A and B are shown apart, each in its own frame.
Chain A
Amino acid sequence: MPRPFRRRSRQSDRAESECDLSPESGDHSHGPGSGSPRPDGGTVDERTAPSSGRLTGALDDRFGDDFVESLPFWLPAFLLMGLFVYGAIVWNFVISLTDYEGFRDASYSSLDFEMYSRALNDSGFIDAAQNTVVLLIAFTVLTLGIGLGLAILVDRNIRFENTFRTIYLLPMSLSFVVTAQFWLWLYNFDDGLLNQAVVLVGLDRVNWIGDPQVVLWAVILALMWQFSGYAMVVYLAGLRAIPQEHYEAARVDGASTLKMYWRVIIPQLKGATISAAVVLMVFALKAFDFLFSLVSGYRPPNGSDILATKMVREVYSGTPRWAYGSAIAMVLFAMALSIIGPYLVYQYRRGNL
């Protein structure tokens, strides 16, 4: 049974008839140094073409036929992104080796790893690193579990599937700042919904935000609320890619529903799990916005400081400690890299890159 979830638009024939394919030399864009239209669509060897640059030909030989002609499309965006992402990371690393602090200009004369050893001796840094790891792992595992459960529920040929799916994914469209407001109110000690429920079942009120033992889990719960719909959507796409015969074969073998999912279906969701896990971990690393909004300030509640908040606080609240903040940021980057690196290798091996 075909179960469409992602509507792939058919390529319309309209576009084909619309496009006029006669070569017009005025409309040809060639790379710098190449001036002549190529009537055979670029398969000609550039070196033999008159007036086309030697460099163009050499580059095309090295990288492929369309390389030089394709440069104007991706190079500007690549340079902008490269400057802001990779250039900035390298610069950040260099700053982390300096002693740069306060409002004077940076001095790059003596570079050492002092800031990193300072971090290791800073109990605040160790706590924040621990909280980051707990947040990362607990949030990702729990959200994936709930997302999978939701996906299986929604995948059972239900009516109003679109409505359910839309509502489950709704929190994802909200800002961290907005969800922080909602959850701050839910977690309110005196009047919040959760404590009302806790009192109703006869327990003592919980100080969700104020208790350092609890607050990190309260944050994780709120983030789960925001992102389990995302995990559901990824798993749903994964479930829909599994051929219907696999379900039927399991049924014929007499497997119970539970066994069928455990033995046959879930193992096939490995790809979906990996993609969703990577994205969720990255969201967890970015939980700064949520924690900042929770307290309207740079200092998150005791027990919920993570590296992302500590880094920003060191640099942007009080005397700017640029170098120390950069060092903390490098640790955070290393964490992210240890997740993304294997992910990229995995995707490359599967031929997705």
Chain B
Amino acid sequence: MSDATAPEQSAESEREPGPPNTGTRSVSLSRVALYGALLAVMGVFLVPIETGLVTSVKTNPTGVSETLPYLPPPPEYFTLAKWEQAFDRLGQGMVNSALYSIPATVLSAFAGSLTAYGITQARWKDRYKALLLALFVAGIFIPYQAVLVPLSRFWSTYAPLEDWLAVLWVLGIDNDYAGLVELSVTHIAYGIPICTVLFRSYYKNMSIEMVESARLDGASLRRVYRRIILPLSTPMFAVVLIYQFTQIWNDLLFALILVSSESSEAAPVTLILAGLGQSLEGSDFPLRMAGAFIAALPTLAVYVMFGEEFAEGVAS
């Protein structure tokens, strides 16, 4: 701690000339208080995760009730059985989630990039662009309940994928997997607004000189996109892909409505987790905790690796 405060002290005392001794002491005290507060807050953020982690390796119900919730279990109450059980229950769900999350993430990000380019860099009248953009921005904030009934009517009556994809079921694929195709399309449609807005703020801040000179030289919009915009979009693609993947993977509502049953072979991981460890005898908390960590693993991994991009995605 003293190491951390040392450079600050000198900077502060330069700015505020005064009796050096008292000045330094009060500054360092306030720095200590500052770091104390920061660490305390960090504790608050980590405790729910920590208790979950230690609980996930306890036996149920004795280990859970005999030990303190925030302490690791002593050897007699330690078990990895709940993790194995959670893997068994959630494994297929993880695969199912990946099956629709990854295509939906990539396609919605790409659609967002194209759309943002078309309404940012292409020259047409600003007031029409603003109108279009307003429709996209509002689309981000729609409460999904407001589209749920039409959505389920649409997929069941007007686009019965289960009938259209009949050839797949003949091949031995469970026909509940039609639900995952529906989920992909649904997530793409509702992901387009946020992807567009994220890319749009990026493209708007891009220097347009290069694009303009290319246009004057006769390059088409498509050419400019391929040769100039797309290569420059890589950092923003990272941000958008991470944000979208987290959102889609974490979603429960659409999965619940479109796949409907947690016992379905095609059930996404969030749907299974929501019903995990619940029985008439009471909650199996170690199983729930282990399941929560397994389900969170992909998004946690993405977050740990790309925290900076994630922060940028949520901040804009």
Contacts and interface: CB of A to CB of B under 8 A. Distances in A.
Interface of A: 6-9, 11-12, 14-16, 18-24, 27-30, 37-42, 60, 63-67, 69-78, 80-89, 91-92, 95, 105-106, 150, 153-154, 156-160, 162, 164-186, 188, 190-193, 196, 225, 229-230, 233-234, 236-237, 251, 278, 282, 285-286, 288-289, 292-293, 296, 307-308, 311-312, 315-316, 322, 325-326, 328-330, 332-333, 335-336, 339-340, 344, 347-348, 353
A332 B145 contact: yes
Contacts of A192: 69
A92 B204 CA distance: 35
Nearest to A160: B4
A235 B168 CA distance: 50
A284 to B, nearest CB: 10
Given A166-B307, A289-B251, A69 B220 contact: yes
A41 to B, nearest CB: 4
Interface string B248-283: 011111001100100000000010011110100001
Contacts of B288: 181, 184-185
Contacts of A85: 139, 142, 147, 189-190, 193
B28 interface: no
A81 B139 contact: yes
B80 interface: no
Interface in B269-303: 270, 273-276, 278, 283, 285, 288-289, 291-292, 295-296, 299-300, 302-303
B149 interface: yes
Nearest to A237: B315
Contacts of A316: 256-257, 260
Given A89-B142, A176-B252, A292-B252, A7 B308 contact: yes
A167 B45 CA distance: 7
Contacts of A177: 250, 252, 270, 273-274, 292, 295
Contact of B115 (A24, A78, A233, A336): A78
Given A63-B128, A177-B250, A177-B273, A233 B311 contact: yes
Contacts of B52: 181-182, 185
B231 A172 contact: no
Contacts of B283: 184, 188
Contact of A348 (B38, B42, B134, B303): B134
B42 A167 contact: yes
Interface of B: 4, 8, 15, 34-35, 37-38, 41-42, 44-49, 51-52, 55, 64-65, 68-70, 111-112, 114-115, 117-119, 122-125, 128, 130, 132-154, 157, 186, 188-190, 192-193, 196, 205-207, 210, 213-223, 225, 227-228, 231-232, 235, 246, 249-253, 256-257, 260, 270, 273-276, 278, 283, 285, 288-289, 291-292, 295-296, 299-300, 302-303, 307-308, 310-312, 314-315
Nearest to A41: B215
A347 B250 contact: no
B273 to A, nearest CB: 5
Contact of B118 (A30, A71, A329): A71
B45 A225 contact: yes
Interface of B is mostly: helix
The 6 closest A-B pairs by CB, nearest first: A64-B124, A73-B118, A175-B250, A74-B118, A70-B122, A84-B189
Nearest to A8: B205
Contacts of A353: 130, 133-134, 137
Given A11-B207, A88-B154, A278-B141, A70 B186 contact: no
Contact of A190 (B34, B65, B291): B65
A307 B145 CA distance: 9
